[in-house]
Amino acid sequence: MLIIDCPWCTGPAATDQALATLVCEDCGVSVDVAPDGPGDVLVLVAAA
């Protein structure tokens, strides 16, 4: 698991090696990220 800044709150979010899923315990969200690679996640973080 990798830890990144959650796009929806200030807490940490965990993602797997393939960045296919994103889970934030603070928000209680579990998101399936499009399997295009890390680009989508980085866009979400940048937009937050």
Q: Can you give the binding site for Zn ion, defined by CB under 5 A?
A: 6, 8-9, 11, 24, 26-27
The rounded Cα 29 to chain-centroid distance in angstroms is 9
Residue 4 or 8 with smaller CB distance to Zn ion: 8
* Cβ proximity to Zn ion, 16 vs 26, nearer residue: 26
Query: Which residues make Cβ contacts (< 8 Å) with residue 48, sequence separation at least 6?
Result: 5, 6, 7, 8
Nearer Cβ to Zn ion (20/23) = 23
Q: How far apart are CB 7 and Zn ion at their closest, in Å? A: 7
Asked if 46 and 40 touch (Cβ cutoff 8 Å), the reply is no
